[in-house]
A and B are shown apart, each in its own frame.
Chain A
Amino acid sequence: MIVHSAHAFLGIMHFVSLWFALAVLLLGGDLILVIFLHLLSTSLIILAGFSTRSIFSHLGANRTAISILAYEPVLIIIAVSIFMLTGSFDASAAFNWDQPLLYKMPLAFIALLLVLPIKLKKSPFDVAEAHQEVTGGVEIEFSGIFFEAVYTAKWLDYVFCYTLVFLFAGNNILLGIGLMVFTFFYLNALDNSSARVNYKQMLRFSLTVSFSLAFINLLINIFT
């Protein structure tokens, strides 16, 4: 049922740490802490992937690590932009801000929309778990209840990402719901209508387009 105990343990801890990151985010905690907890969670699944002898698991772990390079800088820039606007890294400051962050950070929101398919492993940026190539990547060697933990972590990632989207609505709940619904249909339409790119193209796109958009928004926030 398990490859080895450390592999199973890392899978469970991936789930637990992701749930913890989500809890900190929903309770209005520090966004930098949230991002690093999320990073820790992804690092644990990468370690699990490397701890087996499966070549698909190794490839998946490599690709997941590259995915981190693609989306984490954008998330950090978004957190810094929120700090520049609200004066605090706390998510609660964004949730309680009197006007939606979207109005002040439209480019950052577009950058987030561009990196969400990487995080949620959707086409065209689903290289990390590309089923036709690496048959699920890091999750391939998990089975039974341990696979369930890794699979449920994927669902937690959905809630995590949609909460990040909701953050852009400030205290406007209706706008937040609207943004989440829009993001949901956007992700599915994109997933259905695009072919997978390779990891180099993904990284290049993310670091040139998404990162630049988020960074320009940050500069605008600093100088206005």
Chain B
Amino acid sequence: MNDLLIPVLLILLAPLIGGLVYGFERIIKARMQRRIGPPFITTLL
């Protein structure tokens, strides 16, 4: 049961996790270009 819990949670939350990774990526990319970048959560809104 516990072995399945984490994969199932990851599957269900995958779009949210992917969106947060994408949001974080936009900030990191902006910082590399010496910009502040968009808010972390923008991609999900």
Residues of A within 8 A of B (CB): 19, 22-23, 26-28, 152, 154-159, 162, 184-185, 188-189, 191-192
Contacts and interface: CB of A to CB of B under 8 A. Distances in A.
Classify the secondary structure of A's interface with B.
Answer: helix
Contact of B33 (A22, A23, A192): A192
Contacts of A19: 11, 14-15
Nearest 6 CB-CB pairs, A to B?
A155-B18, A26-B7, A158-B18, A159-B14, A23-B11, A192-B32
Given A27-B7, A158-B22, A22 B14 contact: yes
B15 A184 contact: no
Contacts of A156: 14-15, 18
A26 B32 contact: no
Contact of B29 (A157, A162, A192): A192
Contacts of B18: 152, 154-159
B17 interface: yes
Nearest to B26: A188
Nearest to B43: A155
Interface string B3-23: 010011011001101110110
A184 B7 contact: no
A185 B11 contact: no
A179 to B, nearest CB: 15
B1 to A, nearest CB: 14
Contacts of B4: 27
Classify the secondary structure of B's interface with A.
Answer: helix
Interface residues of B, number: 18
B43 to A, nearest CB: 8
B42 to A, nearest CB: 13
Given A27-B7, A156-B14, A156-B15, A188 B21 contact: no
Contact of B28 (A22, A155, A188): A188
Nearest to B4: A27
A155 B29 contact: no
A19 B43 CA distance: 19
Contacts of A158: 18, 21-22
B9 to A, nearest CB: 10
Contact of A184 (B8, B19, B21): B21
A28 B14 CA distance: 16
A65 to B, nearest CB: 24
B17 to A, nearest CB: 6
B29 A26 contact: no
